[in-house]
Amino acid sequence: MTHNFLFAGVGGQGVVLASEVLALVAAAEGYDVKQGEVHGAAQRGGAVVSHIRFGERVYSPLNLRGQVDVMVAFEKLEAVRHAHYLKPGGVLIVNDHRIEPTYLNTAVKYPEDPIGFLKTKSYRVLSLNATETARVLGNERVSSLVMLGAVSKFTPLKASSWDEVLQDRIPAKYLELNRRAFAEGQRTMA
């Protein structure tokens, strides 16, 4: 059985780092893992989407549309853009945070209620405001760890494995803050 995750957000939100952490935790538990996203010109100010798949043996690095178990959207417009990758009944964890596209074409407006729209679909939509939680903790940049904490409740991966990877990946002086952010994210999904 393969566990299929899709992380989506906007460049600069820590989507790639977060998806690497999930991949590393899965690898630490002995799963075969593939994780990938598009780099290069596509990343400048643009939407970022990362595929993470783990299981006994993973073939395709890309998820199939309609087969993702858990999608994590770091920004709500990006949730709309990629939600069709979820399987029916799949879990959609969405950060209730709006990042206005910085493109100067004002013809297409930011949707009024993207989360409400997603709730009309056949998914289990769970929203939190990770950006606000991170700001309260002292640094908006740890919102990605809040999101990771939230998604950790929907993985078969052990708490100790998460913490080992965080210790490995996060510089010592930021570790406590990141741990707190992760714990806050877990709490929102309790």
Question: What does the alpha-carbon distance between residue 150 and residue 138 come to, in Å, rounded to a whole number?
Answer: 19
Pick the binder of other proteins from 1, 56, 89, 109 (CB under 8 A).
109
For other proteins, which is the closer residue by CB, 85 or 188? Answer: 85
Q: Is residue 114 a contact point for other proteins (CB under 8 A)?
A: yes
Pick the binder of other proteins from 29, 55, 119, 121 (CB under 8 A).
121
The answer to whether residues 79 and 71 touch, using CB atoms and an 8 Å cutoff, is yes
User: Please, what is the minimum distance in Å from the beta carbon of residue 190 to other proteins?
Assistant: 29
Per DSSP, the three-state class of 71 is strand
Q: Count Cβ atoms within 10 A of the Cβ of residue 140 and give its class: 0-12 exposed, 13-18 middle, 19 or more buried.
A: middle
Spatial CA neighbour of 71 closest among 154, 142, 12, 178: 154
| Length of the chain, in residues | 190
Contact range with other proteins by CB under 8 A, out of 29-37, 128-136, 154-162, 177-185: 29-37
The residue ranges that bind other proteins (CB under 8 A) are 10, 20, 23-24, 27, 32-47, 58-62, 64-66, 77, 80-84, 101-105, 108-111, 114, 117, 121
